[in-house]
Amino acid sequence: MRRLFAPRWILVHVSVALLILLMINLGFWQLNRLDAKKTRNESINTQIQRPAVDLSSATAFDALGPEWSKVVLKGEYSSKDAITIINRSLDGAAGYNSAIPFITTNGQVVLVNRGFVPLATSNPPAPTGTLQILGYVRQTQKRSAVGAIDSSSPESTEFQRFDLPVIANATDSKLLTNDYVQLIAENPASKESWPAPVALPTLDEGSHLSYAFQWFFFTATALTGWIYVVRKKLREPINDPAAPEQTSA
């Protein structure tokens, strides 16, 4: 038994224990991601099936509503303040999202993502005059630790994401900074071919469950292998160099 506590065997035991602990945590991490995906999908399904909330006559609002709920707004586009959200794609084609501040009849300013435009196409003009829009409520986006940094220049009209405080600060506008609208329809409708409406996110559960099973399988394999090696080592005969040699008569 003492041989299993030799320095190199202690290193083996510690390495195997750390590896098993890591793989177990990775398995549960995948299960947690699966639960988060299910919760997200359920929330989106619930919101998109509810009727739209008409905010056309609202006197004022600090937020539009829960994410992915539908709202109706009345007002007009401020086309001179149009911006683009770059590095977007649709069906494999590269492009950008065309976004324009929408001034509601009560004077509030809401950024509207009108949709995807291919790179080779210039930003199409928005309808002029008073109109009514229907869209999904989307929450402001934040830069991740490794995300690209937006320009802080006042002249900037290109942004990496819908980071509303950053956009409001760079464009010196009074945008609502909690939410923006992902356009579904305009009335009267635009006659332009672009922008194309941004599709809803895919509501599948991904491969998290199969990945979790893989990590738990690897854990069981590592544990089984370690037990096999230890048992084999214990069955090996002990060679005692101090034992007297047997001589034949």
> pLDDT tens, 25-44?
999 999 999 999 999 999 99
Q: What pLDDT sits at residue 169?
A: 84
Paired strand residues for 133: 73, 186
Question: Which CATH architecture is the domain 51-187 placed in?
Answer: Beta Barrel (2.40)
Q: What pLDDT sits at residue 173?
A: 78
Question: What would you report as the CA-atom Rg of the chain, rounded to the nearest whole angstrom?
Answer: 30
Put simply, whether the predicted model's pTM sits higher than 0.75 gets the answer yes
pLDDT tens across 171-208, in order?
Answer: 777 888 899 999 999 999 888 889 999 988 888 888 99
118 three-state secondary structure = strand
Cβ count within 10 A of residue 22: 14
183 three-state secondary structure = strand
pLDDT tens across 46-94, in order?
Answer: 999 999 999 887 777 878 889 999 999 999 999 888 999 999 999 889 9
CA nearest neighbour of 164 among 76, 87, 63, 95: 63
Structure tokens at 182: 């992902």
Q: In the chain, where are the structural domains located?
A: 2-41+207-235, 51-187
